[in-house]
């Protein structure tokens, strides 16, 4: 058996994609898009060696674009096999990929309009909406914990990963030449105290583990401390006016922040002001959360019993259209605007930042991982001037980084997840982390468990 890495390796955090081949089978675990700066996004090609006509199945850990974004590209090039994941992942990935196809169409049209040279080929999007639509017929929803036969020699089981609604870690069991091998893919693991979602579950045995390491070099600030900081900013805006801009990952982070604002308003902690959900994708995703409330944690249901949900539409306002989004530029505040994209590498947040970064009464709250080269990363690094739509914008706004809201497990939680597998002494490959993060986690794992993880590069092939 061989496993080839087509992303999320070599210090790259995005683009998760593994090709698993045996004597009989070829399947993909995730097929994600690279995100961040232009260098990362230039890697968004069909994975070399993953021939769509030969891949028998795709297994998805969760719905985020960096784990699903190249699936329609496979379909465009002839993939017709089953796509397995939880029903929530399949529903959310459709929302994400429809948005991705729309943005690619718009970006290609813009580039051709502004930069096309007669005689040169036109820029084409990676895929079209029709290739996202084709996924529906291929999707196979699976329940957590149940063993699913994928091919004659490969079965799979998903367990809770606690990263977003429907997210899972995947355990592959491969029977080859009379031998059985177990390979675990952590997917993205969530922190244990993330509201709304249940905490991650554990595997007990593996021969090989592919483990995320996004925050392998540090722990987040405690969630309670993060909430104190967040509530203080909200209170300041409530009393003095101004805007809070939050570059928001539409699925997970947007719903978490709305949950906490509903909590504040329900308890009377602050005087309510308008909160605008300025993201069609987040609006659709919130509906998926609403339809799957049985999967949400106990704290959500307790708060719902107190009357915080459904939220008061007087203060929680959806902004689905471009026109309604543009009208937010004229608001004086106090108000909060939740807009994508989460890394400020596209979407409506760019317009809000362009109009408001000059204003010292604006607060920008960064609530998730920012890839190297992204505008969000530059704001985190306190660049005094940033470029948006070709215009240099001075950053006079107050920028806050609240990593405690991250949907990724911190170092201690990563170690806890692995501790259940450590007694079986598996080989370990650390993926989905910048080099500093995965090197630090590798050293700690060797010291704590006596296992030295491998740090693979994109294109490496691991034989088991």
Q: Is 53 exposed, middle or buried (0-12, 13-18, 19+ CB in 10 A)?
A: exposed
Nearest to 63 by CA among 245, 269, 284, 273: 284
In Å, how far are 205, 244, 409 from 406, measured between CA atoms?
28, 18, 8
pLDDT digits (tens, 9 = 90+) for 389-431: 999 999 999 999 998 888 899 999 999 999 999 999 999 999 9
Residue 332 has pLDDT above 90, yes or no: no
Mark residue 281 as left, alpha or beta (left: phi above 0; alpha: psi -120 to 50; beta: remaining). Answer: alpha
Tell if the pTM clears 0.75, that is, is over it.
Answer: yes
pLDDT tens digits, 67-98: 999 999 999 999 999 999 999 999 999 999 99
Q: ω before 310 within 30° of 0 (cis)?
A: yes
Is residue 37 predicted with pLDDT exceeding 70? no
Between residues 44 and 360, the one the model is more confident about: 360
Confidence of residue 43 (pLDDT cuts 50, 70, 90): confident
DSSP annotation of 23 reads S
Arithmetic mean of pLDDT, 290-303? 92
Question: Nearest Cα to 99, choosing from 414, 408, 342?
Answer: 342
Beta strands in 263-347 (DSSP E): 275-278, 316-318, 335-339
Nearest alpha carbon to residue 355 among 243, 447, 253, 234:
243
Q: Which residue has the tokens 């650390």?
A: 430
pLDDT of 30 reads 98
CA distance 154 to 150: 6
Rounded Cα–Cα distance for residues 442 and 429 (Å): 9
- pLDDT number for residue 41: 73
Of residues 123 and 29, more confidently modeled: 29
Element (H, E) at 174: strand 168-176
Is residue 121's pLDDT more than 80? yes
- Residue written as token pair 């991250």: 406
DSSP string, 195-236: SSSPPP------SEEEEE-TTTT-PPPPHHHHHHHHHHHHHH
Residue 38 has pLDDT above 80, yes or no: no
- Cα 81–66–206 angle (5° rounding)? 70
Residue pair 176/153 in contact (Cβ under 8 Å)? The answer is: yes
- Does residue 368 contact residue 401 with C-beta atoms inside 8 Å? no
Give the pLDDT score at 78: 94
Tens-digit pLDDT profile for residues 54-65: 999 999 999 999
What is the full DSSP assignment across 339-401? ES-TTSSSSTHHHHHHHHTT-TT-EEEE-S---TTSHHHHHHTT-SEEEETTEEEE--SEEEE
Spatial distance between the Cα atoms of 81 and 434, rounded to a whole number of angstroms? 32
């Amino acid at each position: 058996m061989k496993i080839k890495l087509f992303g999320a390796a070599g210090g790259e955090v995005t683009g998760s994609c593994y090709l698993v081949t045996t004597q009989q089978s070829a399947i993909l675990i995730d097929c994600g898009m690279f995100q961040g700066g232009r260098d990362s996004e230039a890697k968004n090609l069909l994975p070399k060696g993953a021939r769509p006509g030969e891949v028998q199945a795709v297994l998805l850990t969760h719905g985020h674009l960096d784990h699903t974004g190249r699936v329609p590209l496979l379909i465009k090039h002839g993939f017709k096999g089953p796509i397995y994941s939880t029903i929530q992942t399949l529903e959310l990935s459709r929302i994400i990929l429809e948005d991705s196809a729309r943005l690619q169409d718009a970006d290609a049209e813009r580039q051709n309009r502004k930069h096309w040279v007669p005689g040169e080929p036109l820029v084409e999007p990676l895929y079209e909406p029709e290739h996202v639509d084709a996924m529906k017929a291929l999707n196979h929803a699976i329940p957590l914990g149940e063993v699913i036969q994928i091919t004659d020699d490969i079965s799979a089981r998903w367990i809770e990963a606690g990263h977003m609604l429907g997210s899972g870690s995947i355990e592959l069991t491969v029977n080859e030449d009379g031998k059985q091998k177990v390979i675990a893919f952590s997917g993205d693991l969530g922190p244990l105290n993330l509201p709304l979602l249940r905490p991650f579950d554990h595997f007990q045995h593996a021969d090989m583990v592919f483990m995320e390491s996004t925050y392998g070099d540090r722990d987040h600030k405690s969630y309670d401390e993060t909430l104190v900081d967040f509530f203080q900013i909200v209170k300041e805006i409530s009393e003095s006016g101004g805007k809070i801009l939050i570059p928001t990952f539409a699925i997970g982070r947007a719903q978490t922040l709305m949950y906490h604002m509903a909590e504040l308003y329900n308890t009377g902690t602050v005087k309510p002001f308008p909160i605008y959900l300025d993201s069609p994708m987040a609006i659709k995703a919130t509906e998926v959360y609403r339809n799957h409330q049985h999967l949400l944690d106990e704290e959500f249901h307790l708060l719902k019993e107190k009357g915080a949900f459904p939220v008061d539409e007087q203060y929680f306002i959806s902004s689905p259209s471009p026109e309604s989004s543009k009208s937010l530029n004229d608001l004086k505040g106090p108000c909060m605007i939740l807009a994508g994209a989460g890394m400020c590498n596209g979407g409506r947040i760019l317009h809000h930042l362009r109009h408001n970064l000059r204003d010292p009464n604006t607060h920008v709250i960064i609530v998730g991982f920012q890839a190297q080269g992204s505008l969000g990363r530059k704001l985190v690094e306190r660049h005094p001037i940033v470029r948006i739509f070709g215009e240099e914008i001075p950053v006079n706004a107050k920028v806050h980084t609240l990593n405690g809201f991250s949907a990724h497990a911190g170092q201690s939680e990563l170690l806890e997840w692995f501790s259940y597998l450590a007694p079986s002494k598996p080989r370990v490959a650390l993926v989905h982390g910048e080099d500093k993060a995965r090197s630090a986690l590798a050293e700690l794992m060797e010291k704590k468990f006596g296992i030295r993880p491998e740090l693979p590069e994109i294109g490496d092939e691991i034989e088991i």
